[in-house]
């Protein structure tokens, strides 16, 4: 079925190329509540076309993806696309700062283009605390035919969505946060929507690709397969130096592809996922089943790493393969990011605390408060008083935490450095919509200008979500080549919900459709944008 679909898509692709147009793929999604039992107890899940997790989006570089999302929930709803860049088109990003919520009983058609991208990503519901109920699924962007991929075609391509999970209903979780409290520790870990019993069937001697995304709410997870090695080949759209690991840390919001060769005697093996850096250790297993298996699961479940140093060393070993192709035939390394002068340094530090007796989280002391109108629409219609550019400082100030609709201004085509400073003792995971960035350095302690001497200015990995270890820093470089209003957020979902996020407004004074697409004709209009017209 999948290969038939693939052949069809290649066929469509060829026809379309002849016509000089990129192919279109259409999806019609019905979002509903439904009963799910991932940890053995009944709970309310968010289903897409009856499925939990939601259907996979399978695409090829530059495909146009048209998704008509029908909201049958009793709540407003939005989907966002983690790692898909929405080039020139932040209107499609599906977060509250860019797009009006789809009201209950209504629909909205997203128009995405997988422009100049390859790799493994996922989508998720961005509003309320819907992510704790499902509504997420995998996104695969394959290389165009004739563009070389730096490894032989695998015998199969498995999606592995992992994440921590609560048995508590998502409305209740949201109410706990709204009432100013912290969430309890999660109840378990799901692998493809199941607390146990997921299974992957393989043929002995063959090599398979596993695309692993952490779609959970807060915990960093470690992934491993009993008796098998993981060869890393791709991270969020970048083909990596192919290093072999016995296990892999996947921080919340991140995606990785590994190749696994089925080189063991034919039996069943444990597929194990467990929490890292957490007070309690949660582990879930699935089965790697050899088709000619002669034996059941046996032996101890393989254990994960235990030190932060192990993780830091692994993170630093993940690098770009400079001679491999990316979405285009030229090697990915031809853009020498290490030779470009930095025009600005931004330092971001998170903090936790209470505002008016309620638990909040902040970036540089500002705890994000949504406005009554999506910021992107306020910008487009020039509606004043919704947000102020510059409402979050470029560096930590030490000020007491306060609420604001924080928007940072930045110039189109600037080349900037961001240092994430983690003064807390948890692992952080930061994501930037609209972009990939180079993870040039990370280390323990405080960042200083001299820390730049240890940056990797040659083959750092380019990705969209990076971890920052406890009491440590991570530095990234970004070429701001995508105009729009882009969400910068922690992927630790309760913290995101309670303010650890802001928007980066990448602005060009030249209003040209070459730099940014016009507002979509079907854009939903809400708040102070209600009743405006999207046609010039
Ligand atoms: C809602 O769906 C209908 C078709 O079912 C479509 O014609 C319409 O454009 C959609 N609305 C939006 C806002 O995308
Ligand atoms: C990098 O990619 C090239 C080109 O596909 C490939 O031949 C080579 O094996 C890769 N090198 C590593 C270290 O992964
Ligand atoms: C970068 O800055 C240095 C020193 O200010 C300057 O000499 C050099 O020409 C600049 N390089 C580029 C590519 O702009």
What's the CA-to-centroid distance between 150 and ligand 2, angstroms? 6
**Distance in angstroms (rounded) separating the CA atoms of residues 276 and 278:** 5
CATH tag for 2-142 (out of 3.30.565.10, 2.60.40.420, 3.40.47.10, 3.40.50.300): 2.60.40.420
pLDDT at position 115 is: 96
Of the bound ligands, which one is closest to the alpha carbon of residue 103?
A: 1
- 8 Å CB contact between 236 and 465: yes
pLDDT mean over 17-38: 87
User: Could you tell me which of 272, 311, 284, 44 has the C-alpha nearest to residue 164?
Assistant: 284
What's the CA-to-centroid distance between 110 and ligand 1, angstroms? 10
For residue 34, is pLDDT > 60?
yes
Cβ neighbours, 10 Å, residue 203: 14
CA 284 to chain centre: 22
Give the nearest ligand 1 atom to 106 CA: 1
- Report the predicted TM-score, pTM, of the whole model to 2 decimal places: 0.95
Q: 157-317: what fold?
A: Immunoglobulin-like (2.60.40)
- 8 Å CB contact between 345 and 416: yes
Which residue of 241, 323, 329, 332 sits with most ligand 2 atoms within 8 Å of its CB, as the best mutation to test the pocket?
A: 323
For residue 376, is pLDDT > 50?
yes
12: confidence class by pLDDT, cuts 50, 70, 90: very low
Of the bound ligands, which one is closest to the alpha carbon of residue 69?
A: 1
Of the bound ligands, which one is closest to the alpha carbon of residue 342?
A: 3
- Per-residue pLDDT tens over the stretch 109-167: 999 999 999 999 999 999 999 999 999 999 999 999 999 999 999 999 999 999 999 99
Cβ neighbours, 10 Å, residue 146: 6
Instruction: Tell me whether the CATH fold assigned to 2-142 matches the one assigned to 157-317.
Output: yes
Of the bound ligands, which one is closest to the alpha carbon of residue 340?
A: 3
Which residue of 235, 324, 325 sits with most ligand 2 atoms within 8 Å of its CB, as the best mutation to test the pocket?
A: 324
Where is average pLDDT lowest: 8-12, 173-177, 304-308? 8-12
At 356, list the tokens: 């008016």
**Nearest C-alpha to atom 11 of ligand 1 is from which residue?**
108
To the question of domain 337-529 being in CATH 2.60.40.420, the answer is yes
What's the CA-to-centroid distance between 378 and ligand 1, angstroms? 23
Which residue of 149, 150, 153 sits with most ligand 2 atoms within 8 Å of its CB, as the best mutation to test the pocket?
A: 150
**Distance in angstroms (rounded) separating the CA atoms of residues 487 and 395:** 18
- Per-residue pLDDT tens over the stretch 505-533: 999 999 899 999 999 999 999 999 999 98
151 burial type by CB count under 10 A (0-12 exposed, 13-18 middle, 19+ buried): middle
pLDDT at position 331 is: 81
Q: Is 321 in the pocket of ligand 2 (CB under 6 A)?
A: yes
Question: Which DSSP letter does residue 64 get?
Answer: E
**Distance in angstroms (rounded) separating the CA atoms of residues 498 and 367:** 7
Give the nearest ligand 1 atom to 524 CA: 13
536: confidence class by pLDDT, cuts 50, 70, 90: low
The residues lining ligand 1, judged by C-beta closer than 6 Å to any ligand atom, are 68, 107-109, 522
325 burial type by CB count under 10 A (0-12 exposed, 13-18 middle, 19+ buried): middle
Could you give the percent of the chain with pLDDT greater than 70? 96
Domain boundaries in the chain?
2-142, 157-317, 337-529
What is the widest separation between alpha-carbon atoms in the chain? 69
344-355 and 415-422 beta bridge pairing? parallel
């Amino acid at each position: 079925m999948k290969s038939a679909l693939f052949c069809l898509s290649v066929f469509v692709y060829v026809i379309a190329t002849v016509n000089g147009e990129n192919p279109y793929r259409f999806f019609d999604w019905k979002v509903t509540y439904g009963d799910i039992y991932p940890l053995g107890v009944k709970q309310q899940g968010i289903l897409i076309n009856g499925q939990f997790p939601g259907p996979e989006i399978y695409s090829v570089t530059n495909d146009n993806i048209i998704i008509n999302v029908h909201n049958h929930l009793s709540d407003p709803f939005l989907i966002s696309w983690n790692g898909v860049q929405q080039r020139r088109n932040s209107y499609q990003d599906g977060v509250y700062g860019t797009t009006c919520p789809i009201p209950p009983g209504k629909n909205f058609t997203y128009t995405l283009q997988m422009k100049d991208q390859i790799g493994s990503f996922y989508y998720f519901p961005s509003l309320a605390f819907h992510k704790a109920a499902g509504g997420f699924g995998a996104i695969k962007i394959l290389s165009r035919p004739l563009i070389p991929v730096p490894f032989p075609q695998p015998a199969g391509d498995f999606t592995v969505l992992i994440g921590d999970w609560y048995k508590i209903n998502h409305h209740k979780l949201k109410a706990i946060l709204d009432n100013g409290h912290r969430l309890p520790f999660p109840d378990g870990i799901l692998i493809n929507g199941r607390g146990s019993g997921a299974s992957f069937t393989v043929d002995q001697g063959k090599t398979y690709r596993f695309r692993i995304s952490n779609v959970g709410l807060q915990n960093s997870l470690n992934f491993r397969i009993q008796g098998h090695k993981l060869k890393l080949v791709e991270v969020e759209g970048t083909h990596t130096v192919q290093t072999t690991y016995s296990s892999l840390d996947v921080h919340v919001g991140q995606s990785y592809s590994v190749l696994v060769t089925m080189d063991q005697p034919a039996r069943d093996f444990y597929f194990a996922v467990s929490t890292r850096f957490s007070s309690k250790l949660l582990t879930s297993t699935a089965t790697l089943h050899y088709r000619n298996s002669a034996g059941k699961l046996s032996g101890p479940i393989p254990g994960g790493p235990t030190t932060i140093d192990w993780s830091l060393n692994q993170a630093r070993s993940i690098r770009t393969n400079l001679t491999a192709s990316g979405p285009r035939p030229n090697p990915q390394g031809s853009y020498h990011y290490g030779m470009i002068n930095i025009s600005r340094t931004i330092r971001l530090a998170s903090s936790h605390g209470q505002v008016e007796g309620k638990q909040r989280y902040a970036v540089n002391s500002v705890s994000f408060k949504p406005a009554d109108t999506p910021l992107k629409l306020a910008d487009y219609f020039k509606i004043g008083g919704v947000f102020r550019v510059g409402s979050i400082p470029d560096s930590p100030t030490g000020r007491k935490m306060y609420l604001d609709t924080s928007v940072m201004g930045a110039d189109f085509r600037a080349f900037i450095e961001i240092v994430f400073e983690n003064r807390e003792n948890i692992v952080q995971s930061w994501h930037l919509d609209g972009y990939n960035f180079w993870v040039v350095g990370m280390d323990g302690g405080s960042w200083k200008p001299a820390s730049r001497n240890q940056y990797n200015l040659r083959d750092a990995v380019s990705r969209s979500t990076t971890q920052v270890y406890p009491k440590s820093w991570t530095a990234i470089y970004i070429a701001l080549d995508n105009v729009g209003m882009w969400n910068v957020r922690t992927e630790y979902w309760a913290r995101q919900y309670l303010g650890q996020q802001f928007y980066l407004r990448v602005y060009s004074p030249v209003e040209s459709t070459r730099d940014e697409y016009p507002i979509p004709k079907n854009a939903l209009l809400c708040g102070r944008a209600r009743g405006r017209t999207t046609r010039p």
